[in-house]
């Protein structure tokens, strides 16, 4: 947290209108400054509509709703820029503005009309940035596209063809501006769909734990976060210990141990343990630009297909340079060599992939699916095996308590109240069902002093001073060694009805069992058949349920190939690992904290909309709507994205090869070659954007299905 303190940040309002602020900020000149990150932070300030940067002048323009209170929030945000805005490893392309492009164009076309003495200094001045960048790139990275651009402009200047040199500089600037515009548009489309959702959190007030909206947290509140939950505030740990995963904030993948006195950041995940946090910054002040960081991280790791395309494109740059040099050596025609050097393969290949990926992500988000970048798209397109965790995926995950069977001296209400007290803080469908049933009966929640979520189908809690265990038969009988034989005959009868059982023990005694029933999603049978149609060869179901319950469900799903029952979370991850080792490209769909190991182990992790924070963070694909048809849409979009990327590569190589051949033959002058090359690049980017934005076929007939999630 010291990074922010070490930077002296001065802001000054340069110009102000009722709905617009133009502000100079000193830290915008910092090399580590990430403008996209700060833009995302500002866009989450109430009333802010648009943000534009002028990094050269260290200025920022903010358009907002004119509300004076929101104006103060904007200024406060800029005075206290989050330290996450400064990333040491950040790499930003030079920003091209429309004014400089227009000036370049005007001067280029006016070159023939200028007096001869003015042409050389003007042309060398316009070309200087291109030449400097080309020389710097050659010295630091070897022969790249910038080298070709600098050589083409330099050759034209040496032969005193100033008009051609200036036209090439203008076309390069115009192409860069259009590419940048395309990038901004795709990012803006994604931001419009991926704003942070409102959430509920636990806070301690007057000694009681209560659930409130994240917007209602005030400074000084004690916020309680357990395993699998996202920390909603910036603050200091005041009680408890935990392992906290800050990878989405700092990029550090190893969870850190926190204890009283340590600081924690909004957006971090509690991997294990339970802590109380004294809130220091709340509401909009804690927004850590998750959208921007998500966009940056999702595109940082390239897919296998993209890597192969980029490698080939990079290899073709020296080939183009060699052909240009060979043309000059053979013909002694610098003009022909300059024409060859204006044509390269790299731009269209490398720029079209991020555009196609982000537009596919936009299309998927519009249909209710969050896909985390090119790697996830590429992997999803190659998936041949799909593994489902049963509860909350193929079933609705909305369990209903159907029967309560006390075994000792407790009443039904007493048994239910005991189980609900232990389960109240557990974000799992079983826990939600028990708590809901208790509230429907207006049962008073017993006091809870300590709770541990055992990642093996159970909860251990101290309710009114006594240890209470709630979970599966395996957890209670085998892991904890409690005698459950008194419920054996009852359990067989209930499971025969397709119901699940929850065992409740206090101390070392089984107090009773609770029967629950889950409903199969009505669309599940058809969705599984559709997935088989889209290339999924094998569908597997994993569940912690008893064999009879699992078989009853599988009998209703004719597309299922195999079912595994009575599994622990580590068993699920092991089955996923074995399938991968057998050569399958595998996707795993789940929704709970317990599913995180399997989500990470699979080639593609898919999380349901009601999934725990840890599961959503671990997954590469997150369904945003309670409809399994969105999974079919995700698969179709992934297949389409791979096809778009391959088409862009083929078009870039094909058309540029034709231009290169014409340039070598002397048919294309340098300016025409540059024009055709840039038009081809922009055209391919346009195709990538439009084709990627197209909704999947499975949603075209029902347009209402593709709506804002």
- pLDDT category, 147, cuts 50, 70, 90? confident
Task: Look at residues 61, 182, 166 and name the one whose alpha carbon lies nearest to residue 114.
Answer: 166
- pLDDT category, 587, cuts 50, 70, 90? very high
Mean pLDDT, to the nearest integer, of 507-513?
91
Cα 189 vs. chain centroid, distance in angstroms? 14
692-702 pLDDT per residue, tens: 777 776 555 44
Does pLDDT of 247 surpass 70? no
Q: How far apart are the first and last CA of the chain?
A: 35
Structural domains of the chain ordered from first start? 2-85 (3.30.70.100), 98-191+296-356+639-700 (no CATH), 200-286 (2.70.150.10), 369-395+520-623 (3.40.50.1000), 400-517 (3.40.1110.10)
The sheet carrying 538-542 orders its strands as 369-371, 621-623, 604-607, 586-590, 385-389, 538-542, 562-564
Mean pLDDT, to the nearest integer, of 515-527?
87
Share of the chain above pLDDT 90, in %: 14
Per-residue b or e along 600-631, where b marks 16 or more CB atoms closer than 10 Å to that residue's CB: ebbbbbbbbbbbbbbbbbbbbbbbbbebbbbb
Does pLDDT of 703 surpass 50? no
User: So what's the pLDDT on residue 399?
Assistant: 81
User: So what's the pLDDT on residue 320?
Assistant: 82
420 — alpha (psi -120 to 50), left (phi > 0) or beta?
alpha
User: So what's the pLDDT on residue 95?
Assistant: 61
- Check residues 302 and 49 and name the one with the higher pLDDT: 49
User: So what's the pLDDT on residue 673?
Assistant: 83
271-285 pLDDT per residue, tens: 778 899 998 766 544
Does pLDDT of 353 surpass 60? yes
Task: Look at residues 63, 33, 8, 69 and name the one whose alpha carbon lies nearest to residue 284.
Answer: 69
Q: How far is Cα 375 from Cα 532, in angstroms, rounded to an integer?
A: 22
642-660 pLDDT per residue, tens: 888 889 888 988 898 899 8
Does pLDDT of 288 surpass 50? no
Mean pLDDT, to the nearest integer, of 508-515?
92
User: So what's the pLDDT on residue 451?
Assistant: 65
**389, 545, 603, 613: which is the annotated catalytic residue?**
389
Q: Which of 223-227, 299-303, 663-667 has the lowest mean pLDDT?
A: 299-303
Q: Which of 137-146, 297-306, 341-350, 406-415 has the lowest mean pLDDT?
A: 297-306
Angle, CA 31 vertex, CA 26 and CA 34 arms, to 5°: 85
73-120 pLDDT per residue, tens: 888 888 877 666 776 555 555 566 778 888 888 988 888 888 888 889
- pLDDT category, 291, cuts 50, 70, 90? very low
Q: How far is Cα 135 from Cα 242, in angstroms, rounded to an integer?
A: 51
Does pLDDT of 386 surpass 90? yes
User: So what's the pLDDT on residue 297?
Assistant: 54
Share of the chain above pLDDT 70, in %: 83
- Check residues 612 and 192 and name the one with the higher pLDDT: 612
Does pLDDT of 635 surpass 80? yes
Longest dimension (CA), the chain: 106
Non-local CB neighbours of 626 within 8 Å, separated by 6+ positions: 396, 608, 609, 610
User: So what's the pLDDT on residue 709?
Assistant: 38
* Positive or negative: CA dihedral 58, 64, 66, 67: negative
Q: Which of 228-237, 295-304, 506-515, 625-634 has the lowest mean pLDDT?
A: 295-304
Task: Look at residues 359, 387, 389 and name the one whose alpha carbon lies nearest to residue 373.
Answer: 359
Q: How far is Cα 554 from Cα 543, in angstroms, rounded to an integer?
A: 11
Q: Which of 343-347, 557-561, 604-608 has the lowest mean pLDDT?
A: 343-347
Mean pLDDT, to the nearest integer, of 339-345?
80
Are 286 and 263 in contact by the 8 Å Cβ rule? The answer is: no
- Check residues 182 and 668 and name the one with the higher pLDDT: 668
Q: Mean pLDDT for the chain?
A: 80
Q: Which two tokens stand for residue 554?
A: 């599988």
User: So what's the pLDDT on residue 287?
Assistant: 42
Quickly count helices (H) and strands (E) in the chain. 25, 24
User: So what's the pLDDT on residue 265?
Assistant: 78
- Residue 508 known to be catalytic: no
User: So what's the pLDDT on residue 403?
Assistant: 92
Mean pLDDT, to the nearest integer, of 155-184?
78
Given the structure tokens 């969705």, which residue do they identify? 527
Are 514 and 472 in contact by the 8 Å Cβ rule? The answer is: no
User: So what's the pLDDT on residue 53?
Assistant: 84
User: So what's the pLDDT on residue 252?
Assistant: 53
- pLDDT category, 510, cuts 50, 70, 90? very high
H helices within 194-238, ranges in order?
A: none
User: So what's the pLDDT on residue 512?
Assistant: 93
- Check residues 404 and 302 and name the one with the higher pLDDT: 404
User: So what's the pLDDT on residue 29?
Assistant: 78
- pLDDT category, 685, cuts 50, 70, 90? confident
User: So what's the pLDDT on residue 404?
Assistant: 94
Does pLDDT of 676 surpass 50? yes
Does pLDDT of 152 surpass 70? yes
Q: Which two tokens stand for residue 276?
A: 């109380």
Does pLDDT of 331 surpass 50? yes
Per-residue b or e along 666-675, where b marks 16 or more CB atoms closer than 10 Å to that residue's CB: eebbbbbbbb
Mean pLDDT, to the nearest integer, of 1-5?
35
């Amino acid at each position: 947290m010291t990074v922010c303190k070490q930077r002296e940040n001065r802001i000054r309002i340069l110009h102000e209108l009722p709905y617009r602020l133009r502000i100079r900020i000193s830290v915008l000149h910092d090399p580590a400054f990430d403008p996209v990150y700060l833009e995302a932070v500002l866009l989450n300030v109430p009333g802010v509509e648009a943000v534009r940067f002028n990094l050269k002048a260290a200025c920022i323009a903010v358009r907002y709703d004119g509300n004076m209170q929101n104006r103060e929030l904007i200024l406060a945000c800029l005075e206290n820029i989050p330290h996450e805005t400064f990333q040491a490893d950040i790499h930003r392309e030079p920003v091209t503005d429309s004014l400089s492009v227009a000036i370049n164009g005007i001067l280029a076309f006016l070159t023939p009309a200028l007096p001869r003495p003015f042409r050389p200094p003007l042309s060398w001045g316009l070309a200087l940035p291109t030449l400097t960048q080309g020389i710097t790139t050659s010295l630091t990275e070897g022969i790249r596209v910038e080298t070709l651009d600098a050589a083409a402009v330099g050759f034209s200047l040496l032969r005193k063809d100033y008009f051609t040199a200036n036209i090439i500089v203008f076309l390069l600037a115009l192409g860069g501006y259009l590419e940048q515009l395309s990038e901004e548009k795709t990012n803006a489309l994604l931001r419009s769909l991926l704003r942070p959702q409102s959430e509920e959190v636990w806070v301690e007030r007057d000694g009681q734990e209560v659930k409130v909206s994240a917007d209602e947290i005030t400074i000084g509140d004690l916020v309680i976060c357990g395993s699998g939950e996202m920390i909603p505030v910036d603050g200091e740990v005041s009680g408890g210990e935990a392992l906290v995963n800050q990878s989405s904030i700092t990029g550090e993948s190893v969870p850190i141990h926190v204890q009283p006195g340590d600081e924690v950041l909004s957006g971090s995940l509690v991997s294990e343990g339970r802590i109380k946090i004294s809130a220091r910054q709340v509401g909009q002040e804690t927004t850590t630009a998750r959208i921007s960081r998500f966009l940056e991280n999702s595109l940082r790791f390239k897919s296998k297909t993209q890597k192969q395309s980029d490698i080939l494109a990079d290899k073709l740059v020296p080939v183009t340079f060699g052909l240009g040099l060979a043309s000059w050596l053979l013909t002694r025609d610098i003009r022909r060599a300059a024409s060859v050097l204006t044509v390269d393969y790299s731009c269209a290949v490398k720029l079209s992939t991020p555009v196609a990926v982000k537009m596919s992500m936009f299309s998927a988000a519009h249909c209710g699916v969050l896909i985390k970048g090119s790697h996830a798209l590429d992997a999803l397109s190659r998936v041949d095996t799909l593994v489902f965790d049963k509860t909350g995926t193929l079933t609705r995950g909305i369990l209903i308590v159907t029967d309560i069977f006390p075994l000792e001296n407790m009443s039904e209400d007493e048994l239910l109240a005991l189980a609900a007290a232990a389960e109240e803080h557990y974000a799992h469908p079983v826990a939600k069902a028990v708590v809901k049933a208790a509230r429907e009966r207006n049962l008073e929640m017993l006091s809870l002093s300590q709770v541990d979520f055992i990642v093996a189908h159970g909860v251990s809690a101290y309710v009114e001073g006594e240890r209470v265990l709630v979970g599966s038969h395996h957890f209670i009988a085998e892991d904890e060694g409690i005698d459950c034989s008194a419920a054996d005959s009852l359990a067989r009868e209930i499971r025969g009805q397709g119901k699940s059982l929850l065992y409740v023990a206090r101390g070392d005694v089984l107090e009773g069992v609770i029967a629950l029933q889950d409903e199969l999603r009505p669309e599940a049978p058809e969705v599984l058949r559709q997935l088989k149609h889209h290339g999924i060869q094998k569908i597997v179901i994993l569940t912690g349920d008893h064999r009879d319950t699992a078989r009853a469900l599988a009998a209703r799903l004719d597309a299922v190939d195999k079912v595994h029952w009575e599994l622990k979370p580590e068993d699920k991850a092991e089955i996923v690992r074995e399938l991968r080792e057998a050569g399958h490209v595998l996707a795993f769909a789940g929704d709970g904290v317990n599913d995180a190991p399997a989500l990470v182990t699979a080639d593609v992790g898919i999380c349901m909309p009601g999934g725990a924070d840890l599961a959503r963070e671990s997954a590469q694909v997150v369904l945003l709507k309670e409809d399994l048809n969105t999974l079919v849409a995700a698969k179709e979009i992934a297949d389409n994205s791979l096809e778009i990327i391959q088409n862009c590569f083929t078009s870039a190589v094909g058309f540029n090869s034709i231009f290169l051949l014409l340039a070598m033959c002397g048919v294309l002058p340098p300016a025409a070659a540059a024009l055709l090359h840039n038009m081809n690049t922009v055209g391919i980017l346009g195709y990538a954007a439009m084709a990627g934005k197209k909704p999947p076929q499975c949603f075209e007939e029902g347009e209402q299905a593709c709506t804002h999630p």
